[in-house]
Amino acid sequence: MMRLRSLPMLLLCLALAACQMTPPRPAQDIDAPAAPEVQSPVSASTAKAAEPPPPTFLLPEPASPRTGAEVLQRLRERLVDPPCVADPLVHRWQDIYARSPRGFAQQIEQALPLIGLALDELDRYRLPGEYALLPIVESGYRPDARGAGDHLGLWQFGRSTAEHFDLPLSPAFDGRLDPLASTDAALRYLGDMQNQFGDWKLAVLGFNAGPYRLKKQLENQPDVRFSADARLPAGLPASSYAHVAKMKALACLLAQPERFDLTLPDDTRVDPLVRIQLPAGQSSLAAIARDRELPPGLLEWLNPGFRDGYITRNAPRHLLLPESLSPRFEQFELPPAPAPASPASASGNYVVRSGDTLGAIARRHGIRLATLMSLNGLDGRSILRPGQRLKLAP
């Protein structure tokens, strides 16, 4: 087993998409152009997310509980820049995030589990703690977040970036929706850019706008210093500078909450997660939950990478679950489960079901709508019929 410490199960309580935070556009593919800044407070998710499972009091007491205070202190200790700076754009986002102290505290409480996960991985790569704030901006720390286009998961990876960093993408499993695998890929990506550009803030600009675009601007402005308010280095979308400003605003609020009349969730219980290996065979997350008497929806929330919650024979053989539930998986065998009515086959095809649309199929399987239409000779006026077989890959 692989222990993922500092992960309370309060991520299972409420949806993060209801927050007042304003996520910018999703992270760009490596070679994708930047999109205009999102001006109004909206959710990064454009598709309805699954309902979170029941709250933590339905779980057993963890063997090694920790607190929210410990997670947040770990974050503060790993920040490499002063958390509070004089920058008008940063101040603007501080005011937005702190507008509702109770709501902000609730959002941080819900994000604590995956903040802990990110910190564990940051320690492994020896990267700045600021990067643990990026998924708040990208996705509200929702493992199942679906953004514009085909950007998915905590870090809102596009398909080409995910493929570049070897995240598994198939009709059976999407690694962008795997919290651990996507965090590992995101930190490798950010670490590469930090080594190239020499500053975490520039790495975040590259994450949002694309590293090649940033490199070109830096080559034209060799002596410029980063400024979110002045939009330096010049030539990038406004949303890219806002990305960094939001992260710096969050760092200040979490480091000095008393300045903003915030009460943070210091007493929140932490239940570490473990990654367990699955035996051979196929099943479904729902069937496993019933067989092991787990709270409904828990496995789906922590493991949204499995398409339609179904575990095929060739899907990755691991699950994330709370440490307090891991004893139930000793000498475990996969329970039988029927395949979905019309699943995507291992050959890369999909059988249309009643009510399907091209857009919904593309989002569900993590491919671009234009790609789906091109593969199948369709356009925006095409009519889908139940039983019709679509290609999902060349």
Q: What is the DSSP string of 223-268?
A: T---BTTTTBSSSS-HHHHHHHHHHHHHHHHHH-GGGGT----TT-
**Token representation of residue 137:** 């901006």
The pLDDT value given to residue 291: 95
More confident residue, 45 or 187: 187
Domains of the chain by range and CATH? 8-51+58-260 (1.10.530.10), 349-391 (3.10.350.10)
Highest-scoring range by mean pLDDT, 145-149, 191-195, 383-387: 191-195
238 contacts 37 by C-beta, under 8 angstroms: yes
Q: Which residue has the higher pLDDT, 107 or 362?
A: 107
Report the pLDDT averaged over residues 132-137: 97
State the pLDDT at residue 305. Answer: 95
HSE at residue 358, side-chain half, CA atoms within 13 A, is 18
Per-residue model confidence (pLDDT) at position 108: 92
Q: Give the integer Cα–Cα distance in Å for 273 and 280.
A: 22
Which whole number is the average pLDDT over 99-118?
89
Q: Which of 93-97, 175-179, 329-333 has the lowest mean pLDDT?
A: 329-333
C-alpha–C-alpha distance, residues 394 and 391, integer Å: 7
Is pLDDT larger for residue 89 or for residue 352? Answer: 89
Name beta bridge partners: 350.
390
pLDDT grade, residue 360 (50/70/90)?
Answer: confident
pTM: 0.74
| Element at 93 (helix H, strand E) | helix 88-97
* Residue 47: predicted pLDDT: 38
Q: Which residue has the higher pLDDT, 64 or 335?
A: 335
Q: How many residues does the chain have?
A: 394
Tell the burial category of 144 from Cβ atoms under 10 Å away from its Cβ (0-12, 13-18, 19+).
buried
Q: In terms of pLDDT, which residue wins out, 386 or 298? A: 298
Give the torsion sign (CA, 343, 349, 352, 358): positive
Structure tokens that stand for 314 in this block: 């060739």
Between helix 88-97 and helix 238-255 the angle, nearest 10°, is 60
Q: Is the pLDDT of residue 49 over 90?
A: no
